[in-house]
Amino acid sequence: MANLKEVRERIESVKSTQQITKAMKMVSAAKLRRAQQAITQMRPYSDKLNDMLRNILSNLDGDVNSSFGVEREVKKALVVVVTSSRGLCGAFNNNVIKSAVANMKEKYAGVDVDIMCIGKKCNDYFKKGDYAGQLISDHVELFDDLSFDNVSQVSQSIMDAFSEGKYDSVSVSYGRFQNAILQEPVTTQYLPVEKIESEGESSAKADYIFEPSKDQLLEYLIPSILKITFQKYLLDTHASEHGARMTAMDNATENAEELLKDLKISYNKARQEAITKELSEIVGGAAAMESGS
Among all residues, which ones are annotated catalytic? 89
What is d(CA 143, CA 35) in angstroms, rounded to the nearest whole number?
Answer: 12
Do the Cβ atoms of 101 and 125 come closer than 8 Å?
no
Non-local (6+) Cβ contacts of 278 within 8 A are none
CA diameter of the chain: 119
Distances in Å between the Cα of 126 and the Cα atoms of 99, 138, 183 are 13, 10, 22
Orientation angle between helical segments 148-163 and 214-292, nearest 10 degrees: 120
**CA dist., res. 272 & res. 44, Å (int):** 63
- Euclidean distance between CA atoms 128 and 101, whole angstroms: 14
